[in-house]
Structure 1
Amino acid sequence: MKKLFVLFICLICLFGATDTTDAKKVNNSTSKGKIVFIPHDNRPVSDEMAADTIRKLGYEVIVPPDDLLGNKDNMGNPENLWMWLEKNTTVKRSPSKLEQKRFHTGGKIWGLDPEIKAIVISADSMIYGSLVSSRKHDITERKLKERVANFADYKYRHDDAKLYVFSSVMRTPTSGENSGSQEPEYYKAYGYDIFRYTALKDKADAKGLTSREKKELEFLMELIPSAYLRDWDNRRGKNYRVNEGLIDLAAKGKFECLALGRDDNAAWSQTHMEARHLRDYTQKKSAETVQNIAGIDELGLLLLTRAVNAIEKKQPVVTADYNWGSGKYLIPAYSDEPVDTTVRAQVQLLGGQYVDNGKNVDLLLMVNTNPTGANLGANWYSNNKKIRPDVKTFVSYMERAINRGEPVGVADVSFVNGSDNSLMEELRDKDMLYKLQSYSGWNTPTNSIGYALAQGVLAKDMKKADKDELLTIRYLDDWLYQANIRQMVSRQLSWFKEGGVYSELGSDKAQVELRATSLMHTFAVDNLPASKSDFIKKIRVSCPWNRLFEAKISPEK
């Protein structure tokens, strides 16, 4: 804490007063106030898409520049982020009564900029450098504790700061292939074995193992090199204790809310076990502002939405309905709980109230689950354009609700990592794409639900043109790119001379982006209303992490 205080004094001498010149994407026009947002990396969905959603409500959202945020290869820089936070939130002003007593002065002090209404922070960025770094770091326990203590120190000197913090409960990928090369190198070869090892440990901890399962666990402990298991367990232990430290701070009232997001996991997994113990620890500490929730990439936008609801003293009311089949009971891929549980938890996290079969709600969330109970990738052959009977019924229900004047949003979780083509064809043919309040079908089901909920409850306070732009970006990204164009470009990679691959485009990146942009224009003109043609012409597709998995879909400036 003393080190950060010295750093704070140095910053004041160096910068004098708040200066946001090195904060990116700042709108200096008249606004409802400032919200500072530090995401867990610089992927568009984690970073600028979340910030732009809040800007459309009239807030100035201040975000660190890309070079301070981690990415696939750059593990980030926590010290520089703490310096950035100090510089962009601190001004010289009159003290509050508490500050007069604390600092023994009635004169001007350095404190929180009074225009800043909320600060939404990724603990992964401030402690490890980024979400990816949290999975691969070799940071000492002492340094991690110092960085956790930075939150208390910052709050001490900015007592009126409203801090909304989110932190990951480290993920447990089901295989090396599903890790996206964002785990230690050994996970490529032993990923499935390590996942299975942790699943058995979780089950043993919760309810015990059968004799066969005990033998399997013993076999895996022999199979996986002990050095790899030590590395895996050591890092997870550090991260677990970081979350305990954050819970301790929440129990002392340092945060408005602390969200612990269970990154990619399963019903039996190390992530699931750690979350269970963290939930027990939260209860032991009576930390009422802590919420343990499935998912991670959507938490930034959900907490930004919570902050806005708190500022405006609103509590949106939400209800949900589901497609045929397993519906709300589906436990989707990358999650450890039914989708209905996730919906209710996310409504709570954004500061709303969930009701069953409610009328006069702020949002009716329609959740598109696959009637077969499957939750396959959007690149599977079964994700075709043929309109299924369940989709017809699902859309007709939605259409009646819209005709009654109900605000409808769609969380499309029938497939992972992209839209359900059958659903999108029917929405297009029924001219319903822009009658929705929100739509989301990207990445994991929990990610999609979070975006659909947050943008859906906020849409009523946006201009129609702004709401429609958010919808357009989701259609271009989730439907056209993730469910269709990405697969086409992946199959065409051999056309490019430098031999780029799906996970590492290399020097083919520029040509791949041109090809994806060309396909995007063609698909968009064929599928979106003619009224969107001017916007579509400006759209460019880029691959900020030099891989095909995610894309930045944005109009050229």
Structure 2
Amino acid sequence: MSKHHKLILVPLDERPCNYEFPYLLAHGTDYRVERPPAGIMGLKKRPGDVEQLWSWFEAACEGADGAVVALDTLLYGGIIPSRLHQLELEVLAARLERLREIRRRYPQLKLYAFQLIMRCPQYSLSDEEPDYYADWGREIFRKGFIGHRLELGIATDEEIRELADIDHRLPAEVLQDYLGRRAINIEANKQALELVREGVIDFMIVPQDDSAPYGHTAKDQEKVRARITALDLELKVYMYPGADEVGCTLLARMLNKAEGRRPMIYPRLSAVQGAFVTPLFEDRFFYETLKYQILAAGGLIASSAAEADLVLLVSTPGETMEEAVSQKHAFHSYDVYRNLMELVEYGDYLLQSKEMPVAVADVGYANGGDQKLVKMLRQNNLLFDVAGYAAWNTSSNSLGTVISQAMIYLIYGRTQGHLDFLALRYAEDVCYCSVVRGELSEGPVQEMGYGKYELDGPRGRVAARVQERLSEELAVRIDSPAGRVKITDCYMPWNRMFEVGLTVQYEPS
């Protein structure tokens, strides 16, 4: 391949994790990532302009070496619109047909795709679901959950009574709308699998956003899994927990394949039981998902540090996973059933004595970084010597991000792009997710006259306050005599507190 290969990214939506992260990870590499103009992407519940997205994509394929494509964007206009649309299957089938045409025109294009199975949250909140989910979300979830257990013959008498009560109360038109959309989406999933079978799509991930062991989503997974098996696609289609990190994962896979690399990753866990914790919002033991995340990004798990290209320091929970905002209270299992000190000292030893690349998957808590771990990394001056770090949202979101960053580091080393992405992770995952978000969401935002789901716009007073607090936290938690993190932009992409949009730079002293 020539210097500066062109890769196309069709992101899952316009949030920074999907639109920015893969793009930023490619900075300083020989790969130029092109993505759709922001103006044709959607905005939360408003779908992107699907017709314009397709036109852009088809034109961008000219001269491209590879493409990482979120099918939900090309079918529905984004991840949230995939849960809200009123599209017929014929429309979706016609859209997928355009991929066959692209394959005919550009036979040498490497095409990696991902497509979600529609989630079914366990709570009543319409922020990212149809409006009726505010009133009936919990009931829709419980109906699927108990109904599934009933089919398996394991529902309790209490659950059966609860189901009868839900059937009595839940409006028929609500359930019909919800289940009808799920049925159409699952058919679109099956049609995409046909494209893999035909070789139109080279590799595919079916990530599970917010999964549970029983219910509507679990049943849909069974249908897709059965089709994968029937089409003999087990090695070409992976299905595991995740969603917003998959653009990064597939980018890393593409670079590894293009460079002829198969990195060996040795995971070192902070807790002996960590492998057997089922993370929040996921449906299986942590270690099984870790294998998928490494495999999907183009690597393999090493059985020892001696045969590894990189050691992944993994801070897992010792028993059950808590939310990052809860770490201000002591949890026996976090303090006693895991050993962060050994993890940090081991990483330090490898970096200093062995010159072995080390990355940090900070997945002890959901939705944010572990302040004790980061404090110790800083004490040993490791924060900007690591090959990667992530601690945002779900365990899988973090894993996919840090593994991708670390694999790109193995090829290109300590570029400015790498240091800036590390700085972004510390600013967002540690300072925002585990400190500032919780602090401002429970009081200050309300005192300013807003709510955590309804702020004063992407660049209002709240965003200014966030930036001010983040700068203060960076100064005490991250900056050191070796260098500092500077925020050059801060906004609230979805006008709510959950995510922040940041542009940061790492400035060495």
TM-score tier, shorter chain, comes to over 0.9
SS at match of 1:83: helix
Aligned pair 1:462/2:412, yes or no?
Answer: yes
SS at match of 1:168: coil
Deviations 1:70-117 (A, max 9, x none): 231421121111101122223xxxxxxxxxxxxxxxxxxxxxx2xx11
SS at match of 1:61: strand
Contact 1:384 1:421 in 2 (8 A): no
Question: 2:65 corresponds to which residue?
Answer: 117
Deviation at 1:138, TM superposition (A): 1.0
For residues 203 and 407 of structure 1, the distance between their equivalents in structure 2, rounded to whole angstroms, comes to 46
For residues 469 and 135 of structure 2, the distance between their equivalents in structure 1, rounded to whole angstroms, comes to 35
Please tell me the residue identity of whatever aligns with 1:75.
P
SS at match of 2:483: helix
For residues 181 and 464 of structure 2, the distance between their equivalents in structure 1, rounded to whole angstroms, comes to 40
Counterpart of 2:494 (choices 519, 538, 545) is 545
Q: Against the structure 1 CA distance between its residues 204 and 336, is the aligned structure 2 distance closer, same or farther, given a 3 Å change threshold?
A: same
Q: Against the structure 1 CA distance between its residues 150 and 290, is the aligned structure 2 distance closer, same or farther, given a 3 Å change threshold?
A: same
Please tell me the residue identity of whatever aligns with 1:79.
E
Question: 2:103 corresponds to which residue?
Answer: 155
Q: Against the structure 1 CA distance between its residues 457 and 514, is the aligned structure 2 distance closer, same or farther, given a 3 Å change threshold?
A: same
Question: 1:430 corresponds to which residue?
Answer: 380
Question: 1:216 corresponds to which residue?
Answer: 162
Counterpart of 1:229 (choices 162, 168, 175) is 175
Question: 1:248 corresponds to which residue?
Answer: 194
SS at match of 1:55: coil
For residues 425 and 458 of structure 2, the distance between their equivalents in structure 1, rounded to whole angstroms, comes to 26
For residues 337 and 217 of structure 1, the distance between their equivalents in structure 2, rounded to whole angstroms, comes to 26
Q: Against the structure 1 CA distance between its residues 187 and 306, is the aligned structure 2 distance closer, same or farther, given a 3 Å change threshold?
A: same
Aligned pair 1:486/2:437, yes or no?
Answer: yes
Deviation at 1:210, TM superposition (A): 4.1
Q: Against the structure 1 CA distance between its residues 150 and 208, is the aligned structure 2 distance closer, same or farther, given a 3 Å change threshold?
A: farther
Aligned pair 1:322/2:273, yes or no?
Answer: no
Q: Greater RCO between the two (CA within 8 Å, min separation 6)?
A: 2
Aligned pair 1:71/2:43, yes or no?
Answer: yes
Please tell me the residue identity of whatever aligns with 2:460.
A
Identical positions, percent: 26
Q: Against the structure 1 CA distance between its residues 380 and 123, is the aligned structure 2 distance closer, same or farther, given a 3 Å change threshold?
A: same
Deviation at 1:167, TM superposition (A): 0.4
Deviations 1:435-463 (A, max 9, x none): 31111000111100111111112112234
Matches within 5 A, 1:479-518: 479-490=430-441, 491-496=443-448, 499-507=449-457, 509-518=459-468
For residues 204 and 281 of structure 1, the distance between their equivalents in structure 2, rounded to whole angstroms, comes to 24
Question: 1:376 corresponds to which residue?
Answer: 322
For residues 532 and 516 of structure 1, the distance between their equivalents in structure 2, rounded to whole angstroms, comes to 22
Where structure 1 has 5 or more consecutive residues not aligned to the other structure, the ranges are 1-29, 91-112
For residues 542 and 365 of structure 1, the distance between their equivalents in structure 2, rounded to whole angstroms, comes to 31
Q: Against the structure 1 CA distance between its residues 446 and 345, is the aligned structure 2 distance closer, same or farther, given a 3 Å change threshold?
A: same
Counterpart of 1:301 (choices 236, 241, 248) is 248
Deviations 1:231-288 (A, max 9, x none): 1110100110000000011111111101111111112232222112211111101224
Deviation at 1:189, TM superposition (A): 1.8
Q: Against the structure 1 CA distance between its residues 230 and 135, is the aligned structure 2 distance closer, same or farther, given a 3 Å change threshold?
A: same
RMSD: 2.2
Matches within 5 A, 1:398-477: 398-403=347-352, 404-464=354-414, 465-477=416-428
Please tell me the residue identity of whatever aligns with 1:220.
I
SS at match of 1:34: strand
Question: 2:113 corresponds to which residue?
Answer: 165
Q: Against the structure 1 CA distance between its residues 325 and 207, is the aligned structure 2 distance closer, same or farther, given a 3 Å change threshold?
A: farther
Deviation at 1:211, TM superposition (A): 4.4
Contact 1:262 1:272 in 2 (8 A): no
Deviations 1:515-554 (A, max 9, x none): 1111122221222224433x51x43321121111111110
Deviations 1:110-159 (A, max 9, x none): xxx2xx11011100000001001001111122211111222222212222
Please tell me the residue identity of whatever aligns with 2:227.
Y
Deviation at 1:396, TM superposition (A): 2.5
Counterpart of 1:202 (choices 148, 161, 165) is 148
For residues 306 and 43 of structure 1, the distance between their equivalents in structure 2, rounded to whole angstroms, comes to 22
Matches within 5 A, 1:356-371: 356-371=303-318
For residues 384 and 441 of structure 1, the distance between their equivalents in structure 2, rounded to whole angstroms, comes to 19
Question: 1:82 corresponds to which residue?
Answer: 54
- Number of paired residues? 496
Contact 1:305 1:350 in 2 (8 A): yes
Question: 2:345 corresponds to which residue?
Answer: 396
Question: 2:293 corresponds to which residue?
Answer: 346
TM-score normalised by length of structure 1? 0.84
Deviation at 1:486, TM superposition (A): 1.3
SS at match of 2:322: coil
Deviation at 1:507, TM superposition (A): 4.8
Deviations 1:297-316 (A, max 9, x none): 11111011111111111111
Contact 1:383 1:420 in 2 (8 A): no
Question: 2:9 corresponds to which residue?
Answer: 37
Deviation at 1:355, TM superposition (A): 2.6
Contact 1:362 1:457 in 2 (8 A): no
Deviation at 1:206, TM superposition (A): 4.7
For residues 324 and 497 of structure 2, the distance between their equivalents in structure 1, rounded to whole angstroms, comes to 14
Please tell me the residue identity of whatever aligns with 2:419.
D
Please tell me the residue identity of whatever aligns with 2:206.
L
For residues 436 and 184 of structure 2, the distance between their equivalents in structure 1, rounded to whole angstroms, comes to 40
Contact 2:436 2:469 in 1 (8 A): yes
For residues 455 and 153 of structure 1, the distance between their equivalents in structure 2, rounded to whole angstroms, comes to 33
TM-score normalised by length of structure 2? 0.92
SS at match of 1:46: helix
Where structure 2 has 5 or more consecutive residues not aligned to the other structure, the ranges are none
Q: Against the structure 1 CA distance between its residues 56 and 201, is the aligned structure 2 distance closer, same or farther, given a 3 Å change threshold?
A: farther
Contact 2:24 2:417 in 1 (8 A): no
Contact 1:500 1:508 in 2 (8 A): no
Larger Rg belongs to? 1
Aligned pair 1:273/2:219, yes or no?
Answer: yes
Deviation at 1:222, TM superposition (A): 2.2
Q: Which moved more, 1:72-81 or 1:381-390?
A: 381-390
Please tell me the residue identity of whatever aligns with 2:469.
L
Aligned pair 1:525/2:459, yes or no?
Answer: no
